[in-house]
Amino acid sequence: MLGRRVDVSVPGAPVTPDWLALREPADAAARATELADRLYGWLPSRSDGPLVVRDLGCGTGSMGRWLAGRLPGPQHWLLHDRDPALVDRALAGMPAGVTAEPRVGDLTALDAAQLAGTSVVTASALLDLLTADEVERLAAACAAAGCAALLALSVTGSVLLTPVDPLDAAFAAAFDAHQRRTVDGRRLLGPDAAPAAAAAFGRHGVAVVRASSPWRLGPGDGRLIEQWLRGWIAAACEHRPGLVPEAEAYLARRLAASARGDLRVVVGHADLLALPEIRS
């Protein structure tokens, strides 16, 4: 039953268009609109040209579809991702009136020179897949370039399933440890990403505002709950093999509760807005 693992928040899991489409409504409902409003208020005093937005780890373009209408136009988006097929989908799905171009490659190597002329750097469900050094470099580059950063949907490690199961805490702890693991010499930040990013921007003199942006799932979200559960449990078992004998029965209980309309899931995320001082 655990074979169909699909969860973009799990490092190394397949990032498929189907999964991204499945989670897009929950992402849109969770995003902190108040941070987009603050960003809008910061932007009018910027330069007169088109607003240049860099979307890091753009996937199929869900951030562009959500954010473009909340920012002043005209806008030009640079869509960064390692997967050219995802970038192509993002380009095709950008809102009308917004121009965009692809940027395929390693998005962790951006520096201040490359960000020159950028008004906003944005990302969704990305920070927790980065290392402390990568987040530090991103904060330094944004600060030096004088661009804002809106970084959304970083996992916080908070998961609340209702009704409670005795194994919830064990799977949650194992998943969080999996998120913080070392991959090819890179120690991922996982649930520590949002506070680490806030501290990094602060070290570079950039003001940061954080907001909670949890997924709140229940009846009507059965397909998303199932796919999220499968990825969450599989990652927990990968980190803590001792959970494997319990996993199938635990998943079955949770899916049965979801099918009855009884299961509620709150997955904690944090959004972060970093606003450098406006330079004359």
Ordered by where they begin, the domains of the chain are: 17-275 (3.40.50.150)
- Residue pair 148/39 in contact by the 8 Å Cβ criterion: yes
**Contacts (Cβ under 8 Å, ≥6 apart) of 31:** 66, 152, 153, 213, 271
Per-residue pLDDT of the chain (280 residues; tens, 9 = 90+): 444 443 334 444 557 899 999 999 999 999 999 999 999 999 975 567 799 999 999 999 999 999 999 999 899 999 999 999 999 999 999 999 999 999 999 888 899 999 999 999 999 999 999 999 999 999 999 999 999 999 999 999 999 999 999 999 999 999 999 999 999 999 999 999 999 999 999 999 999 999 999 999 999 999 999 999 999 999 999 999 999 999 999 999 999 999 999 999 999 999 999 999 854 3
3-class DSSP assignment, residue 56: strand
Residue 223 CA from chain centroid, whole number:
20
Residue 164 CA from chain centroid, whole number:
26
List of E strands, 10-126: 51-56, 75-81, 99-104, 120-124
User: Which amino acid is present at 57?
Assistant: G
